[in-house]
Amino acid sequence: MMQTTRIVNVSRRSLVLGMGAGGLVLAVGLPPRGRSQEAPVEFGADAMPNGWRDDPNVFVSIDEDGIVTVTVHRAEMGQGVRTSIAMVVADELEADWDRVRVTQAPGDELRYGNQDTDGSRSLRHFFDPMRRAGASARTMLELAAANAWDVPVAEVRAEGHVVRHASSDRTMSFGELASAAAVLPVPDRDGLRLKDPASFRYIGKSDIGLVDNDDITRGTTTYGIDVRRDGMLYAVIARPPVIGGRVASVDDRAALQVAGVERIVRLDPPAIPAEFQPLGGVAVIARNTWAAIKGREALVIEWDDGPHGGYSSEDYKAELEAAVRTSDGKLILNRGDVETALAEAPTRVVAEYYIPHLAQAPMEPPAAVADVRDGSCEVWACVQAPQVTRLRLAEQMELPEEDVTVNVTLLGGGFGRKSKPDFVLEAAMLSREMGIPVKLTWTREDDLHHSYYHTVSVERLEAGLDDAGKAVAWLHRTAAPTIGSIFAPDPKEKLPFELGMGLTNMPLDIPNVRAENPQAPAHVRIGWYRSVSNIPHAFAIQSFIAELAEAAGRDPRDYLLEVIGPARLIDPSEIGDVWNYGENPDRYPIDTGRLRKVTETVAEAIGWGREMPSGRGLGLAAHYSFVSHVAVATEVEVVDGQVRIPRVEIAIDCGAHVNPDRIRSQMEGAVIMGVGQALTTEITFHDGRAQQGNFDSYLIPRMEIAPRDMNVHLVNSGGYDMPLGGVGEPGLPPVVPAITNAIFAATGQRIRRLPVADQLRS
Amino acid sequence: MITLTVNGREHSFDGDPEMPLLWYLRDELGLTGTKFGCGMAQCGACMIHLDSYATFACITPISMAEGSEVSTIEGLTENGDHPVQVAWRDLNVSQCGYCQAGQIMQAAALVDSTPDLTDEDIDMVMSANLCRCGTYPRIRAAIKQAAQARAE
C-alpha cells in the first residue's frame, strides 16, 4: 500500500527535500522516471511521502445518534477540500449529508497518509482511497445488520443512512449499527463494492453547501491567528530585512517601556540554506498583539545585511536579460536542429518576457500558537504541510516526534506560503523561552517583507517561420532563481520539476526545438506560489505564439491550434519531462485533443472573430498544468491606458468533476488572481529589501477590476474511471497571457513585462 | 476608563486608549470573527459596524468608540439570518472564508442602507474589501440576491 523504499534509500538531504517539499521537489534527488529503469516505479499517491491510507477506522466515525464524522487530513485553504472529501466518503457510505460532520486531522502521516496540501493533489490522490474508506464503512454497517438479523449479507443494502433488508422489510439506522460495525474487521480492499457512479448522491453534484458555511458567515471559524490558550502571550518579531542578514545591535530600552511588553528575545539567524528555518531577529512578547506591535516599533535595531544587501530588481532584470542572450545555459531540450532551422528560416521572431517576484499574501498572514513545556510541544497553526511542521518542530525542540502535536486550523488562504512552517517554529521557540503558550502573529509588512517569493524570470523565445508562416524552429531560454535555493547551497539552475511546469512538457508541434537554462543566483527566499513556474512559462509561451501569429499574418486562435497540433497523446517523458507532476505518463499523458477542446470551447464562447469596437480586443491562451488542460479567452477594453476586463471565459478539463461547484470557484479565483498578476501585482527589491509592505503598494485585485461577465466551462471528456486532474492551480497560468494578448488586439501594444501597470499610458 | 457596547453588552477598558478596536475585540474580548489583514484600512477584513456604520476596526482607536455601539460579525444577527449571510451560504461565496466576515459586514451595511443597488454601488463600496481567493463574482451575485430579498 504505502511505498517508502525509494525515499529512505536516498541521502539525508534528499529525504529533507522530499519531506519538506512534498512531491514537487521529491523528484530532485531521484533518478528520472524513464521507462528503462528496471526497478518498479511509483507514481501519484504511491510516490508521496507516507503514501495514502483508506482505513475506514481512521477516516469515518459514527456515533449512536447516527452522526457521521469524516476526518479530513488535507488542509482547508479555500479549495473546499473539507467539503469535497466529506462528499466522497458520505456518498460511498450512503450517509445522509445533513448528518455528516467534518473534523480536521492533526499532522500524523503514519496514520493518515500524505498531508502535504499542495500541487493540486488532494482529490487527485485521495478520491479513490476516500471512496474505499466510505465503502468499507458501509460494508461494515451492512455486515453488522446482516449479523443482527442473521441473514446473508448479500440480502442487505445500506441506503440513505439506514441498512435495509428488503425481503423482510426491516431497517436499522446507522446509529443503531455503529457500535456493532466498529468491532468488525475492515473488509478486504480487493473485494470491496464501490457505488455505480450513476447512483452518486453528492459526487458530481453542484448543490452541496460548504461544510464551513455556517461558521464562516457567523464569524465562528478558527484560523491559526484566532487560536487562544489560557495564559497566552502575544508576539511579533523584527526580522532581518535581507536574507542572510543578522542583528548588528539592538537597543530595546524604549520597547521594554511600552505598557504590556513582557520580554524581548533575540533569535539567531539560520544557517544558509535555511530551508524552513526562521530568519532570526528580535521578538517582542506582550500581553496583547497591539502592545507587541508598539513594542517592536520602539526597538532600535541596526542590521548587518550580509551578502544579499545589494539585491536590486532593476539590476537583476538586466542580469537575467544578459544571461538569456548567451548560449551558455544548460541544455535542457534538443530536438531536431534548431540552429540550422533558424538560420534557414525566412522569418525570425525574437521576444523577451519579464515576470516579477510575487508574494502569496494570503489574507490571513502566517500565525501560530505554540505551547512548549514539560517535555511536550503542541501547536495550533494554519499549515499546508502539518507532518513536515511536526518533524521540524521535533528537531528544533529536541523532542521525539510523538511528543509533538500539530493541530491544523483553517487556513485563511495558503497559495504555497503556508507550506513552509518557519512561522510555527518561531512560535515554538518563543513558547519554550517563556514556558507558557505564545501566539505569534505576522503583520502584513512581515508577510510581504519576508515571504518565500515566487521567482523572477526572464524568458527569451526565438522562432523561425517558413514561407507559409508555420513555426519550424523554437528556441527557449529561461533564467530564474530556483526554489532549490532554499534547500541547497547556491544552486543556479532550475530543477526538473520547475522546468516540467509548462516548459519541457510543452506539446509543440514544431520539428526543431531547443531549450536552455542559463544560471540565475537567488538573493531572496524562493518558494512555491500557486501554479509556480507555470506562471512565467505560460505567459512567455502563450504570448510568443500570439506574436508568431502576428508575424505570420494569421489568426491567433488558428495559429495556437496549429502549434498545439493535431489531437494526440504525448508521453511527457518522451518530449523531455521526466516529472509529469509525479504521475504515471500512461495514465496521465498530455492530451492535445483535450487542450484543443478547451481552447475551442472558450474561443467559441467569447465569439472569437467577431468585429470589435475600437479599443477593445479578444485574447486567448491555453496551458496544460497539474495534469489538467485549461484555456482562457478574455475581452478587454483599454481607455486612456486603463485596462478593463469586461468578460472572461475559462474552460478546464480535469477529468471527472467530484465537486463541480468548487472547480468553478477555483477557476473564478484563478481568473481574479490572474487579473492582478497581469495588471498590478509585483514585488520589487532595492538594497536587498522588498519595497512593498502592505496592500497600498502590493496591489492585488479589488472588486472594481473583477470581470463582471465570467463563465466557467467544465469540459468533461470522461467518466470516473479516468484519472482526475488538478484543480487548485491549473486555472491561473493561462489567464495572464489571455489578458495581455487581448490588450495587443485592442491596442497593438505587446506587453512583455509584467505587470502592465502604467505601460499603456502614453 | 472607556465604556462601550459590543454586540449589545456593555464593556469597559482601562488600557491603552490608542489600541485599535480590532485588537481589543480579538485579544481582550476574544471576538476573533473580526480579522486582521493589513492594519491600515487597506483590506477590510476587520470591518465592523460602529453605530451602524461600516468601520475599519484596525485603524479605529478604542477611545473613538467611547459610548458607542459596536457590532461584529458574531453580533450581526442572532441566528445568522441577515439576507447577506443567507445569500453568502446559498451561493457558496466563500473559499478560505477569512475575509468574508469583513465582506459580510460591509455588504450588510450597504444592503441595509441602499435601496436599488447598482453594479457601480457594489464596485465602489466593496472595493474596500480584499479577497485573495477571488470570490468577487460571487460576492457581487450574493449582494444582489440579498438586496432583492431585502426589497421583498
The pLDDT, as a whole number, for residue A434 is 98
Contact assignment for B88 to A216 by CB distance below 8 Å: yes
Contact assignment for B132 to A700 by CB distance below 8 Å: yes
Say whether the ipTM exceeds 0.85. yes
**Degrees (nearest 5) of the Cα angle A207, A212, A216?**
115
- C-alpha to C-alpha distance for B11 and B3, rounded to whole angstroms: 6
CB-CB neighbors (< 8 A) of B145 in chain A: none
The pLDDT, as a whole number, for residue B152 is 87
C-alpha cell at A169: 422489510
The pLDDT, as a whole number, for residue A247 is 98
| Alpha-carbon gap: B44 to the closest alpha carbon of chain A (Å) | 10
For residue B135, give the chain A residue with the closest CA: A669
Contact assignment for B39 to A76 by CB distance below 8 Å: no
Contact assignment for A217 to B104 by CB distance below 8 Å: yes
A399-429: b or e for each residue (b if 16 or more CB lie within 10 Å)?
A: beeeebbbbbbbbbbbbbbbbbbbbbbbbbb
| Alpha-carbon gap: B17 to the closest alpha carbon of chain A (Å) | 11
For residue B104, give the chain A residue with the closest CA: A217
Contact assignment for B95 to A443 by CB distance below 8 Å: no
Q: Which sign, positive or negative, has the C-alpha torsion A145, A151, A153, A154?
A: negative
* Beta-strand relationship, A685-686 and A642-653: unpaired
- C-alpha to C-alpha distance for A69 and A52, rounded to whole angstroms: 19
- C-alpha to C-alpha distance for B110 and B113, rounded to whole angstroms: 5
For B123, the closest of A362, A669, A703 (CB atoms) is A703
Rg, Å, chain B Cα set: 15
- C-alpha to C-alpha distance for B35 and A448, rounded to whole angstroms: 18
CB-CB neighbors (< 8 A) of A707 in chain B: 137
CATH number of A53-214: 3.30.365.10
The pLDDT, as a whole number, for residue A717 is 75
- C-alpha to C-alpha distance for A453 and B5, rounded to whole angstroms: 43
The pLDDT, as a whole number, for residue A40 is 54
Looking at per-residue confidence, does A107 or B115 come out higher? A107
Total beta-carbon pairs less than 8 A apart between chain A and chain B = 192
Contact assignment for B40 to A696 by CB distance below 8 Å: yes
Across residues B112-122, what is the average pLDDT?
A: 95
Contact assignment for B27 to A289 by CB distance below 8 Å: yes
For B28, the closest of A213, A288, A412 (CB atoms) is A288
| Alpha-carbon gap: B117 to the closest alpha carbon of chain A (Å) | 15
CB-CB neighbors (< 8 A) of A221 in chain B: 33, 97
Domain boundaries, chain B: 2-75, 83-151
Asked if residue A27 has pLDDT above 50, the reply is: no
- C-alpha to C-alpha distance for A433 and A427, rounded to whole angstroms: 10
Quick check: B113 and B143 in contact, CB under 8 A?
no
Contact assignment for B97 to A78 by CB distance below 8 Å: yes
Looking at per-residue confidence, does A9 or A702 come out higher? A702
C-alpha cell at B136: 468577487
Q: What would the pLDDT profile of A197-206 be if each residue is shown by its tens digit?
A: 999 999 999 9
The three-state secondary structure class of A496 is helix
Query: What angle do the packed helices B136-151 and B83-90 form, to 10 degrees?
Result: 130
Quick check: A569 and A562 in contact, CB under 8 A?
no
Q: What would the pLDDT profile of A645-665 be if each residue is shown by its tens digit?
A: 999 999 999 999 999 999 999
For residue A669, give the chain B residue with the closest CA: B134
CB-CB neighbors (< 8 A) of B47 in chain A: none
In three-state form (DSSP H/G/I as H, E/B as E, the rest C), the secondary structure along A530-593 is: CCCCHHHHHHHHHHHHHHHHHHHCCCHHHHHHHHHCCCCEECHHHHCCCCHHHCCCCCCCEEHH
Contact assignment for B96 to A707 by CB distance below 8 Å: no
Which candidate in B22, B27, B140 is best for mutational testing of the A interface (most A CBs within 10 A)? B27
Which candidate in B21, B95, B100 is best for mutational testing of the A interface (most A CBs within 10 A)? B95
CB-CB neighbors (< 8 A) of A441 in chain B: 36
Among residues of chain A, what percentage have pLDDT more than 70? 95
Look at the domain A313-358+452-747 and name its fold: Aldehyde Oxidoreductase; domain 4 (3.30.365)
Contact assignment for B73 to A218 by CB distance below 8 Å: yes
CATH number of B83-151: 1.10.150.120
> Which of B66, B76, B80 is closest to B11 using CA atoms?
B66
For B119, the closest of A214, A291, A708 (CB atoms) is A708
C-alpha cell at A78: 479555500
Asked if residue A16 has pLDDT above 50, the reply is: no
Q: What would the pLDDT profile of A139-195 be if each residue is shown by its tens digit?
A: 999 999 999 999 999 999 999 999 999 999 999 999 999 999 999 999 999 999 999
Asked if residue A18 has pLDDT above 60, the reply is: no
Domain boundaries, chain A: 53-214, 224-307+366-441, 313-358+452-747
**Distances, alpha carbon A465 to alpha carbons A341, A502, A516, in Å:** 9, 22, 20
Contact assignment for A217 to B126 by CB distance below 8 Å: no
pLDDT band per the 50, 70, 90 thresholds, residue A14: very low
- The CATH number of B2-75, from 3.10.20.30, 3.40.50.1820, 3.40.718.10, 3.20.20.120, is 3.10.20.30
pLDDT band per the 50, 70, 90 thresholds, residue A716: confident
Contact assignment for B74 to A672 by CB distance below 8 Å: no
> Which of A133, A136, A160, A157 is closest to A145 using CA atoms?
A157
Rg, Å, chain A Cα set: 27
| Alpha-carbon gap: A674 to the closest alpha carbon of chain B (Å) | 10
| Alpha-carbon gap: B106 to the closest alpha carbon of chain A (Å) | 13
Which candidate in A76, A451, A702, A735 is best for mutational testing of the B interface (most B CBs within 10 A)? A702
> Which of B121, B125, B143 is closest to B47 using CA atoms?
B125
Q: What would the pLDDT profile of A44-98 be if each residue is shown by its tens digit?
A: 999 999 999 999 999 999 999 999 999 999 999 999 999 999 999 999 999 999 9
- C-alpha to C-alpha distance for A494 and A729, rounded to whole angstroms: 20
Residue type, B40: M
Asked if residue A33 has pLDDT above 50, the reply is: no
Cis peptide before A701 (omega within 30 of 0): no
Q: Which residues lie below 8 Å from residue A368, measured CB to CB, with a gap of 6+?
A: A224, A227, A379, A380, A381, A382, A383, A423, A424, A426, A427, A439, A440
**Distances, alpha carbon A344 to alpha carbons A468, A641, B72, in Å:** 14, 39, 70
- C-alpha to C-alpha distance for A360 and B132, rounded to whole angstroms: 9
Q: What is the DSSP letter of A170?
A: E
For A219, the closest of B20, B36, B101 (CB atoms) is B101
CATH number of A224-307+366-441: 3.30.365.10
Q: What is the DSSP letter of A232?
A: -
| Alpha-carbon gap: A695 to the closest alpha carbon of chain B (Å) | 6
Quick check: A56 and A136 in contact, CB under 8 A?
yes
> Which of A408, A411, A373 is closest to A390 using CA atoms?
A408
For A288, the closest of B27, B101, B122 (CB atoms) is B27
For B136, the closest of A225, A443, A706 (CB atoms) is A706
Which candidate in B49, B135, B136, B145 is best for mutational testing of the A interface (most A CBs within 10 A)? B136
- C-alpha to C-alpha distance for A502 and A65, rounded to whole angstroms: 51
Contact assignment for B45 to A363 by CB distance below 8 Å: yes
For residue A660, give the chain B residue with the closest CA: B92
Inter-residue long-range contacts of A227-232, CB under 8 Å, 24+ positions, other chains counted: A227/A368, A227/A369, A227/A380, A227/A409, A227/A439, A228/A369, A228/A439, A228/B30, A228/B32, A229/A369, A229/A371, A229/A380, A229/A437, A229/A439, A230/A437, A231/A436, A231/A437, A232/A369, A232/A436, A232/A437, A232/A438, A232/A439
A464-485: b or e for each residue (b if 16 or more CB lie within 10 Å)?
A: bbeeebbbbbbbbbbbbbbbbb
| Alpha-carbon gap: B68 to the closest alpha carbon of chain A (Å) | 21
Contact assignment for A213 to B89 by CB distance below 8 Å: yes
Contact assignment for A668 to B33 by CB distance below 8 Å: no
CB-CB neighbors (< 8 A) of A660 in chain B: none
Contact assignment for B40 to A288 by CB distance below 8 Å: no
> Which of A272, A271, A299, A270 is closest to A283 using CA atoms?
A299
CB-CB neighbors (< 8 A) of B72 in chain A: 219
Q: Which residue bears the cell 441506503?
A: A159
Asked if residue A548 has pLDDT above 60, the reply is: yes
Quick check: A20 and A388 in contact, CB under 8 A?
yes
User: Max CA-CA distance within chain B?
Assistant: 46
The pLDDT, as a whole number, for residue A1 is 32
Contact assignment for B23 to A288 by CB distance below 8 Å: yes
Q: What is the DSSP letter of A280?
A: -
Which candidate in B36, B42, B48, B105 is best for mutational testing of the A interface (most A CBs within 10 A)? B36
The pLDDT, as a whole number, for residue A228 is 98
Contact assignment for B20 to A290 by CB distance below 8 Å: yes
**Distances, alpha carbon A374 to alpha carbons A8, A33, A223, A607, B72, in Å:** 32, 46, 26, 67, 38
pLDDT band per the 50, 70, 90 thresholds, residue A7: very low
CB-CB neighbors (< 8 A) of B123 in chain A: 703-704
Strand-pair partners of A405: A378
Contact assignment for A217 to B98 by CB distance below 8 Å: no
For A259, the closest of B16, B94, B122 (CB atoms) is B16
Quick check: A567 and A592 in contact, CB under 8 A?
yes
| Alpha-carbon gap: B138 to the closest alpha carbon of chain A (Å) | 9
Asked if residue A15 has pLDDT above 90, the reply is: no
Asked if residue A38 has pLDDT above 90, the reply is: no
| Alpha-carbon gap: A754 to the closest alpha carbon of chain B (Å) | 19
